[in-house]
Amino acid sequence: MSDSAKDFVTLAVSVLIESLPFVFLGIFLSVVVQVWLPDGFLLRHLPRRGVLRRFAVSLIGVLVPVCECGNVPLTRGLIMKGLTVAEAMTFLLAAPILNPITIITTYQAFGWENGILVSRIAGGFLIANLIGWIYSRHPRQEALLTSQFQAACASKGEHHAAAGKLQRSVRLFTKETSAMMPALFIGCAIAGAIQVGIPRDVLVTLGTNPVWSVLALMALAFVVSICSNVDAFFVLSFGATFLPGAIVAFLVFGPMIDIKMLVLMRTTFTARTLVQITSVVALCSAALGLAVNYVA
Amino acid sequence: MLLTTVIVLAVLAGALALLNTTRGPRLESAAINLGSVIDHSGQRLLLNTDQPISSIDRDQITVTPEVPVSVAVDGTVVTITFEEALNYNTDYRVNIDPVIGLFQGAQSSIEYDFTTDDVDLYTLHRDSRITDDGTKRPDKIRRDTLLGTDVGRALFTAERIQEFAVLPGYLAVVTLDQENRNHLTLFSLTEETELEIVLPSDTVLKDLQTSRTTNLIGFTLTSGLDSGDHDLVDILYTYDVNAQTAVPQPVFGVDQRPLSVTDYVFVPNTTSLVAHGPDQVIYLIDVTVEGDIVPLGQHVEMRGLIPGTNSLVVADPTQGASIDLRDSTVTPLDLPADDELGDAIPAKLEVLNREGKYVRLYYAWGTDGTSRPLLALTDRDGSSFVYVPASPDTDIRDFCVSPNGQYVAVETFPRDGDSDQYPTLPGSSTMMTTFVDLSTGVSNRSINGFQPHWCK
pLDDT in the model for residue A290? 96
pLDDT band of residue A252 (cuts 50, 70, 90) is very high
Assess B385–A contact: CB distance below 8 Å, yes or no.
no
- Give how far A284 is from chain B: nearest CA, Å: 6
pLDDT for residue A121 is more than 90: yes
How many other CB atoms are there within 10 angstroms of residue A121's CB atom? 18
Question: What's the number of CA atoms in the CB half-sphere (13 Å) around residue B1?
Answer: 10
Tell me the pLDDT tens digit for each residue of B329-371.
999 999 998 877 888 999 999 999 889 999 999 999 888 888 8
Across the interface, do B9 and A284 touch by the CB < 8 Å criterion?
Answer: yes
Sign of the CA dihedral with B248 first, then B251, B257, and B261 last: negative
Grade residue B424 by pLDDT with cuts at 50, 70 and 90: very high
| CA distance to partner chain B, nearest, from residue A89 (Å) | 15
Is the pLDDT at B423 greater than 80? The verdict is yes
Q: Which pLDDT score is estimated for B114?
A: 97
Percent of chain B with pLDDT over 70: 98
Residue B385 lies in a domain: no
Which residues in chain B have Cβ-Cβ distances shorter than 8 Å to A137? 1
How far is B109 from chain A, CA to nearest CA, in Å? 16
Looking at CA atoms only, how far is residue B90 from chain A in angstroms?
28
Q: Which pLDDT belongs to residue A272? A: 94
Bond into A210 cis (ω within 30)? no
Angstrom distance (rounded) from CA A168 to CA B45:
67
Contacts of A144 in chain B (CB under 8 A): none
A279 touching chain B per CB within 8 A: yes
Total domains in chain B come to 1
pLDDT surpasses 80 at A101: no
Candidates A134, A211, A284; nearest CB to B20: A211
Percent of chain B residues past pLDDT 90, beyond the cut: 66
Q: What is the pLDDT of residue A210?
A: 87
Tell me which of B42 and A284 has the higher pLDDT: A284
**Over residues B179-197, mean pLDDT:** 92
* Sheet containing B44-49, strands listed edge to edge, beginning at the edge strand earlier in sequence: B27-32, B44-49, B77-82, B69-74
A283 neighbourhood in chain B, CB within 8 Å:
6, 9-10, 12-13
Chain B nearest-CA distance from A132, in A, is 11
Q: Give the model confidence (pLDDT) of B360-380 as tens digits.
A: 999 998 888 888 999 999 999
Q: Sort strands B170-176 and B182-188 into parallel, antiparallel or unpaired.
A: antiparallel
Q: Is the complex ipTM higher than 0.85? A: no
To 5 degrees, how large is the angle CA A68–CA A69–CA A73?
Answer: 110
Tell me what the pLDDT averaged over chain A comes to. 83
Chain B CB contacts of A211 under 8 Å are 17, 20-21
Contact A290 B23 (CB under 8 A): no
Mark yes or no for CB contact B2/A134 under 8 Å. Answer: yes
Contacts of A276 in chain B (CB under 8 A): 2
CB-based contact B12 A130, cutoff 8 Å: no
pLDDT at A92: 93
3 state SS of A16: helix
User: In 10 A of CB B243, how many CB atoms?
Assistant: 14
Residue, of A9 and A125, whose pLDDT is higher: A125
Out of B13-17, B109-113, B227-231, pick the least confident.
B227-231
Report the pLDDT value the prediction gives residue B149, as an integer from 0 to 100.
72
Question: Does pLDDT of A161 surpass 70?
Answer: no
A280 touches chain B (CB under 8 A): yes
> Is the model's pLDDT at B288 over the cut of 60?
yes
pLDDT of residue B36: 87
CA end-to-end distance (rounded Å), chain A:
46
pLDDT at B230: 58
Quick check: B51 and A280 CB within 8 A?
no
The verdict on residue B83 lying in a domain is yes
Number of other residues whose CB lies within 10 A of the CB of residue B430: 15
B19 and A290 within 8 Å at the Cβ level: the answer is yes
Lowest-pLDDT range of A176-180, B61-65, B169-173, B400-404: A176-180
With respect to residue B401, please indicate whether it lies within any of the assigned structural domains: no
Residue-wise pLDDT tens digits, B101-134: 887 888 999 999 999 999 889 999 999 888 888 8
- Closest C-alpha to B172, from B207, B138, B146: B207
Asked if A270 reaches chain B (Cβ–Cβ under 8 Å), the answer is no
**Interface contact B23-A294, CB threshold 8 A:** yes
Range of the domain at B17: 2-115
> Which of B196, B243, B251, B246 lies closest to B220 in space, CA to CA?
B251
pLDDT in tens, A78-90: 888 888 999 999 9
Confidence at residue A41, expressed as pLDDT on a 0 to 100 scale: 73
Report whether B58 contacts B71 (CB < 8 A).
yes
Report the CATH number at residue B38.
2.60.40.1220
Top-confidence residue, A220 or B232: A220
Could A134 and B23 be called an inter-chain contact, meaning their C-beta atoms sit closer than 8 Å?
Answer: no
Band of residue B434 on the pLDDT scale cut at 50, 70, 90? very high
Distance CA B238, CA B211 (A): 11
CB contact under 8 A, A290 and B13: yes
Q: Is residue B403 part of a domain?
A: no
Is residue B69 domain-resident?
yes
- Is a pLDDT exceeding 70 seen at residue B269? yes
In this structure, is residue B74 part of a structural domain? yes
pLDDT of residue A226: 78
Interface of A with B in 91-150 (CB under 8 A): 130, 134, 137
Check whether A185 has a pLDDT greater than 90: no
Cis check: omega of the bond before B98, within 30 degrees of 0? yes
The pLDDT of residue A191: 67
Among B382, B279, B396, smallest CA distance to B348 is for: B396
Sheet holding B139-145, edge to edge: B120-125, B139-145, B153-158
Task: Tell me if B104 is assigned to some domain.
Answer: yes
pLDDT of residue B232: 78
Which residue range forms the structural domain that includes residue A189? 3-295
Look at residue B33 in the predicted model and tell me its pLDDT: 95
Count structural domains, chain A: 1
List all residues of chain B from 40 to 99 with a beta carbon under 8 Å from chain A: 48, 50-52, 75-76
For residue B337, the surrounding DSSP H or E stretch is none
Quickly list H helices, chain A: 3-31, 41-45, 50-58, 68-80, 85-94, 100-110, 116-136, 147-154, 156-162, 165-197, 200-205, 212-224, 231-236, 244-256, 259-265, 271-295
Q: Dump pLDDT digits (tens) for A10-40.
A: 888 887 787 677 777 777 877 777 777 776 7
The residue among B5, B18, B104 with the most chain A CBs within 10 A of its CB, best to mutate, is B5
How far does CA A292 lie from the centroid of its chain? 22
Q: What confidence category does residue B389 fall into, taking pLDDT thresholds of 50, 70 and 90?
A: very high
Integer-rounded Cα Rg, in Å, for chain A is: 19
Which of residues B50 and B165 earns the better pLDDT score? B165
- Positive/negative CA dihedral, B48, B53, B56, B61: negative
Higher pLDDT, A37 or B299: B299
**Closest partner CB to B1 (pick from A137, A209, A210):** A137
Smallest CA–CA separation between A128 and chain B, in Å? Answer: 14
Highest-confidence range of A169-183, A192-206, B330-344, B349-363, by mean pLDDT? B349-363
Within 8 A of B23 by CB-CB distance, chain A residues are: 210, 294
Residue A205 has pLDDT above 70, yes or no: no
Is some CB atom of chain A closer than 8 A to the CB atom of B246? no
Give domain status of residue B191, yes or no.
Answer: no
Gyration radius (Cα) of chain B, Å: 27
Element (H, E) at B13: helix B2-21
Buried b (16+ CB within 10 A) or exposed e, B99-137: bbbbbbebebebebeeebbbbebbbbbbbbeeeeeeeee
Q: Burial letters for B287-314: b for 16+ Cβ neighbours within 10 Å, e otherwise?
A: beeeeebeebeebeebbbbbbbbbbbbb
Chain B residues with beta carbon closer than 8 angstroms to that of A287 = 9, 12-13, 16
C-alpha span between A60 and A71 (Å, rounded): 11
Residue A275 has pLDDT above 60, yes or no: yes
Task: Kindly list the residues from chain A whose CB atom is less than 8 angstroms away from the CB atom of residue B6.
Answer: 279-280, 283
- CB A130 to CB B103 under 8 A? no
Q: Rounded distance, CA B442 to CA B147, Å?
A: 13
Distance (Å, whole) CA A256 – CA A128: 9
Q: Is the Cβ pair B16, A243 closer than 8 Å?
A: no
